[in-house]
Chain A
Amino acid sequence: MRVVRIIPCLDVDEGRVVKGINFVDLRDAGDPVELASVYNDQGADEIVFLDITASSDSRETLHEVVRRTAEEIFIPFTVGGGIRSVEDARQILRLGADKISLNTAAVIRPDLITDVANEFGKQCVVVAIDARRSDKTICGFEVFTHGGREATGLSLLAWVREVVGKGAGEILLTSMDRDGTKDGFDIEMLKAVSQEVSVPLIASGGAGNLKDMVDGALSGNADALLAASIFHFGELTVSEVKKELLKAGLAVRGA
């Protein structure tokens, strides 16, 4: 039985969740630790933290936030952003994270995936991929790095095969075309990747309503659905999403 996971994603900048700032009720609760705890209570299956802080001085802030969050939630907890070495990964795991998400650093040095997987196990390594539609690659999707600012010329499907070969335990696939649009996940892209590799696939970018969530799992064949703004802005709760998935005949935890 495949059980679809719902994963709220917190983009953290200088120790604060940034996508939630326009949502009045969350403005005061913009503390990532509190939000993670709210999602935990709503029945989230996992929490992802992505540190989008540019300055390296803020690593300390992030570490503190990761430590405090890990002390409160006992569900899988993934942390990404700025992890460039096995030592960086070790530091984050020691603070209580369960998984490490690698993105740009993995493109720069693919063996980093293997190094982290060898040290902590494949289950610990999530490779996050930002991709968009492009005619520059054979498969029609191109991988971007540095928070979507730099094109790599890499074909998405070739990169997906490579990261799995290097030891990725999961793939977190974000559609840059859809991110923030609420037009739904890029189903075609999800399908292409889920057919290419067998590791669990987390869909990200574009979820705007309940139907999008169902489509991501049913048509896109994603194993997990990640969303940020629809949860932060209070448009949907984790349990509403789960009930809808259940209605569509999918298995979810505790709806």
Chain B
Amino acid sequence: MTSRPTVAIFDYGIGNLRSAQKALEFAGAEAILTNDKSILKESDGVVLPGVGAFGRCAEALVETELFSIAASMAEEAASGAKPFLGICIGMQLLYNGSDESVGTKGLGVINEQVRAIEGDVKIPQMQWNKLKCNFKHPMLKGIEEDPWVYFVHSYSAPITEESVAFCDYGSDLNAAIAINNLWATQFHPEKSGKTGMRLLKNFLSLLRSNQE
């Protein structure tokens, strides 16, 4: 493998994917926006971004016929195959569903439901927040002691044993999960300055080690 791993970003007609692409390029990847299944399969790793509503993202995956491949690639990553990174709604999509869009199915990799943020706080959480995290996890290796990252969300996945980072907003929220090579963040690493850039570089390291 070349020193610049290839990252394929699911381009399923949702939102603005350029930010994620340029941040991955800056981190050292060859980043491609694509809806081509063979490119997704041939890449060294994939990123599933997502903004807006859960239901619209899930439907867009179905419409672009990328739902099944996203589900299987996420499942496989969780068993140690090609690394997969979900960002924001791309993390929430890994769950069975969301209270935001009742009746719409998620990818169902994690058997839980995404729920509305509760407490006396403004919705959405649209701000930087500090992570409380497991600094030893490969996702968070080398990040600053005070890791500030940028969040934009109104719903949140429950905290489970897969959680590796949390943030305090009304209560503790699940900020990131990792199951083997399946990583996902509720925050936006591509907009989170140095901390986010470190995380993306860690993801590229995972791609490289996965090839060895």
Q: What DSSP secondary structure best describes chain A's contact surface?
A: loop
A124 touches B124 (CB 8 A): no
Given A71, A93, A98, A123, which contacts B52 in the complex, CB threshold below 8 Å?
Answer: A123
Write out the residue numbers on chain A whose beta carbons fall within 8 Å of the beta carbon of B15: 120-121, 124
Cα of A22 to Cα of B193 in the assembled complex, Å: 30
B51 touches A124 (CB 8 A): yes
Tell whether B155 is near chain A: CB-to-CB under 8 Å: no
Given A71, A74, A94, A121, which contacts B191 in the complex, CB threshold below 8 Å?
Answer: A74
Name A119's closest neighbour in chain B (CB-CB): B15
Q: What DSSP secondary structure best describes chain B's contact surface?
A: mixed
Write out the residue numbers on chain B whose beta carbons fall within 8 Å of the beta carbon of A45: 127-128
- Known interface pairs A75-B191, A123-B51; A96-B19 also in contact (CB < 8 Å): yes
- Known interface pairs A75-B191, A76-B150; A3-B19 also in contact (CB < 8 Å): no
Tell whether B190 is near chain A: CB-to-CB under 8 Å: yes
Give B residues with C-beta under 8 Å from A: 14-16, 18-19, 22-23, 26, 51-53, 121-124, 126-130, 146, 148, 150, 152, 168-169, 190-193, 196-197
12 more A-B residue pairs beyond the given contacts A93-B18, A122-B124, with a C-beta to C-beta distance below 8 A: A3-B127, A40-B193, A45-B128, A74-B197, A75-B191, A75-B192, A96-B22, A121-B15, A121-B51, A124-B15, A124-B51, A223-B126
Give A residues with C-beta under 8 Å from B: 1-3, 5, 40, 45, 70-71, 74-76, 93-98, 120-124, 169-170, 198-200, 223, 253-254
Interface CB pairs A-B, < 8 A, 17: A1-B129, A3-B128, A3-B129, A5-B127, A70-B22, A71-B22, A74-B191, A75-B192, A75-B193, A93-B16, A93-B18, A96-B22, A120-B15, A123-B52, A123-B124, A124-B16, A170-B126
